[in-house]
Amino acid sequence: MKSSTLICAVLILIPLFCIQPVSAQPDLDDIFAGGDWNIGFNEGENVTIELDDDGDASVNFWVHNEYQIDIGVRFEFDEAFGATTEEISSTSINAGENETFTLEFSNVEVLNFRAEKRESFSITVTIETYAGFPAAFEDPKTISGELTIPSIRGFEIEIDEPGGAMNAGTELNMNIEVKNIGNGMDLTAEAMFESKACPQLDISNIANLNDVSIDAALEGQSGMKTISVTLKAPLSHPSKTCDLTIMLSSSGSIKADENTSPAEDKINFEVRKSSSSDGNIDSGDSNSNSDNNDEDKVSSNFTPGFPFSLTIMSILCATVLIRRK
């Protein structure tokens, strides 16, 4: 009887001593239940970012971790217009946290692209770890936006140098080369001129430089036009070294209320008192003096008296009379 009881007790205790402690394993269903993660732009969907005149821009985006564990993520970017992007290092986002990041774009040559042109860029975020353990599979998420090229406006002008001095009382046709230094079609406006040294100079057709349509030097366009104006120096203008400055503005800049300086160019040249006006006066004096000189010569070479033929006849008559006596 005692032996039977001992055997039963051993049989009952053996399974208890054979049970090994097992560490608790996380329940993945519990971890991911009701949770997710996502990314987006701070400005909302369909984001369009305009580059500045230097070709720089930035955009803010967020990563939201709704899981009950930390996640480790990495970032990849597909830039637009060949922009340089600042690298964002892989990072860990705590459970339930929403973190914001800034993507910087730079070094876009905006003058190489037409104004308002758009190109898409994308941001891809991929989970690398869950709670520090490598992810069994990648779970990337991507958002996309657009970069826009800004409108750059402005002109450069160059005045053709005169071939020499300008005479007072004459007109001079001058060619003005106007170059579009922006990245889109533009009109010239507010053309004007000034001469501080010679305010008598005039360009009556300066309006020829207004409302001239010039496309940018893109897609095979030259980006330049040559316009002719007429410079006038009045007859009364003295001999003098003169300056001439011509200025014009961009119609697009004016309408956009941009605080830009007008394009301008300056030349220096000589205006001489008209030789024709001096010559006419001098010529009249010279003719008058010449007439007086001729009269003086006549009066000195010839003695006033009878004609030469009468003198000869008088001599012959006198000879005849003497012989008769």
Domain borders along the chain are 33-148, 155-274
For 21, which DSSP code? P
Phi, psi of 58 (to 5 degrees): -145, 155
Closest CA to 269 of 168, 152, 121, 136: 168
Q: What is the CATH T-level fold of the domain 33-148, as seen in this structure?
A: Immunoglobulin-like (2.60.40)
Whether 268 has a pLDDT exceeding 90, the answer reads yes
Contacts of 160 (CB under 8 A, 6+ apart): 174, 175, 176, 177
Identify the bridge partners of residue 48 per DSSP, sorted by sequence position.
146
Neighbours of 201 (CB within 10 A): 20
- What is the pLDDT, as a whole number, of residue 63? 97
Q: Which CATH superfamily does the domain covering 155-274 fall into?
A: Immunoglobulins (2.60.40.10)
Which two structure tokens, joined as six digits, stand for 57?
Answer: 């821009």
| Confidence band for 279, pLDDT divided at 50, 70 and 90 | very low
Q: Determine which helix (DSSP H) or strand (DSSP E) holds 263, and give its type and residue range.
A: strand 263-272
Tell me the per-residue pLDDT of 126-147, one tens digit each, with 9 for 90 and over: 999 999 999 998 889 999 999 9
Residues 50, 149: Cα–Cα separation, whole Å: 6
Residue 80's SS3 state is: coil
